[in-house]
Chain A
């Protein structure tokens, strides 16, 4: 479904040039949930933005559903691929009602039966039609993230790119949103790429995981290996150890893997 080969992304010119992604390749099959894990500055979100067409300056090849993608994407692409952002406080227009937020993609893509679509999608994300004429400030963080997911779903895409979809939420709300995402994937046969810094979330949601550090994929592995606490690369091992809670003795053994940030 998604095939990324030798992807390189850099920002800036001359001596300020920063190589954010240094030649990474991975394949995501249809219906799969693929995780991208790494610490801040490792380049995981940058990869997602390039796949989604939000960043035009990349080199390499990105093939989605058999079609090779250029730097700019057309409408049919966005009908197929949609992105959910980290911060539901920032990604919804504060002066648009839920109705208007959800109508916009419908109008852009010239879809019919906007009314039914909006109601159906609201039901599907577990909010119901009561929420249709509210403003984002009248919603809690979890409800906002559901609206962000509804805005994406209304186009009936095949691929969802999820950039830390729950890291701004409380754990109890995180559980609800993760459950919603799992149900949707099962019901609609969606393909996910989930970017997260939280290994527990990724191990709960994904089948395969790529671990990124410093713009490179250090290891691609099956989630079963993480569950068995037996990854190969020392960086993945350290990340895993750190995710298991605080232990004074373990901290002294942490190494610096040259993350630039």
Chain B
């Protein structure tokens, strides 16, 4: 199987006058057309990793990478023009909060349609037809009504579906989803994931699923990358996460309360400075 994405020695550094923060420290991983989860606590560098693939780290952030290959295309030294062709069209990104990511003064139909018009030479009526079709794909019950609504008129779960539609309409090969469902109720969350799941299966899309929810990722993804303090602690098969070796992964698993679990004190996570030295 040809690799969809290969990353070697990716580092992201934020320098300020007072201090230098190494948000991501020389991480490497590769993936095919699969569901790859990136899990970690806040500040572990998981979102920064996702953004740096699309070169979306603004200054003063500095990205350095030895190899960054997407579907045979070298993104490391790519020109802005090449990046523009790939960003949105072939790799798209779903953000966490639809409240901030959608344009509040544009109707939903227009902004979803815009994503299609930007990347395809089609007429407006064709874009409209495609938009309505895509809104139906993400299981919005009344696409016509939602098409002419504004973002504030829809609920959070609906907003997230709209964003998903917007990211899917150019038919990308790789989707980076940064906590796409964290703000939602559990049932809605799972419904959205099932849409993504079907797309990965039907369109053979690759998915990077960034989340802090270890259990959800374990049940949803094929493989999981565990990050801590900007480094990869461990990469394992999602099904075998309960047999994970690294003490950090085990610690994260153990400190979750469980339905029907012991009601004694929850084990807390003891962080070992040595983890940072012998990381993968």
Q: Which residues on A are within 8 Å of B, measured CB to CB?
A: 39-40, 141, 170-172, 174-176, 178-179, 182, 197, 199-201, 203-205, 226-229, 238-240, 242-248, 250-252, 254, 259, 261
Contacts and interface: CB of A to CB of B under 8 A. Distances in A.
A261 B154 CA distance: 9
Contacts of A228: 260
B137 to A, nearest CB: 16
Given A228-B260, A252-B194, A178 B266 contact: yes
Given A39-B187, A203-B257, A239-B186, 6 more contacts: A40-B156, A171-B41, A197-B185, A229-B260, A245-B218, A245-B220
Contacts of A199: 259
Nearest to A227: B260
A259 B185 CA distance: 11
B155 A261 contact: yes
Most interface-central of A172, A174, A228, A242 (chain B CB within 10 A):
A172
Contacts of A172: 41, 251-252, 255, 268-269
Contacts of B245: none
Contacts of A182: 265
26 contacts: A39-B187, A39-B188, A171-B41, A171-B255, A172-B251, A175-B267, A175-B269, A178-B266, A179-B266, A179-B268, A197-B186, A200-B256, A200-B261, A203-B257, A203-B258, A204-B257, A204-B261, A204-B266, A229-B260, A239-B186, A242-B186, A245-B219, A246-B190, A246-B194, A246-B216, A251-B194
Interface in B235-280: 251-252, 255-261, 263, 265-269
Contact of A238 (B187, B219, B255): B187
B215 interface: yes
Nearest to B218: A245
Given A179-B265, A246-B220, A247-B219, A254 B259 contact: no
Contact of B252 (A171, A250, A252, A261): A171
Most interface-central of A175, A243, A248 (chain B CB within 10 A):
A175
A226 B259 contact: yes
B214 interface: yes
A238 B189 CA distance: 13
B149 interface: no
Most interface-central of A239, A246, A251 (chain B CB within 10 A):
A246
A261 B188 CA distance: 11
B216 A39 contact: no
A242 B257 contact: no
B186 A254 contact: no
B237 to A, nearest CB: 15
Nearest to A174: B255
Contacts of B219: 245-247
Contacts of B268: 172, 175-176, 179
Nearest to B269: A172
B42 interface: yes
Contact of A200 (B251, B258, B265): B258
A228 B220 CA distance: 24
A103 to B, nearest CB: 30
Given A175-B269, A229-B260, A246-B219, A251 B251 contact: no
A176 B41 CA distance: 15
A204 B263 contact: yes
Interface in B210-242: 212, 214-216, 218-220
B76 to A, nearest CB: 32
Contacts of B257: 175, 178, 200-201, 203-205
A214 to B, nearest CB: 13
Contacts of A229: 259-260
B191 interface: yes
- Nearest 6 Cβ contacts at the A-B interface: A245-B219, A204-B257, A175-B255, A227-B260, A172-B269, A39-B185
B5 interface: no
Nearest to B158: A261
B258 A248 contact: no
B6 interface: no
A82 B261 CA distance: 29
A41 to B, nearest CB: 8
B193 interface: yes
B34 interface: no
B8 interface: no
Interface in B169-221: 185-191, 193-194, 197, 212, 214-216, 218-220
A205 to B, nearest CB: 8
Given A39-B185, A254-B191, A243 B265 contact: no
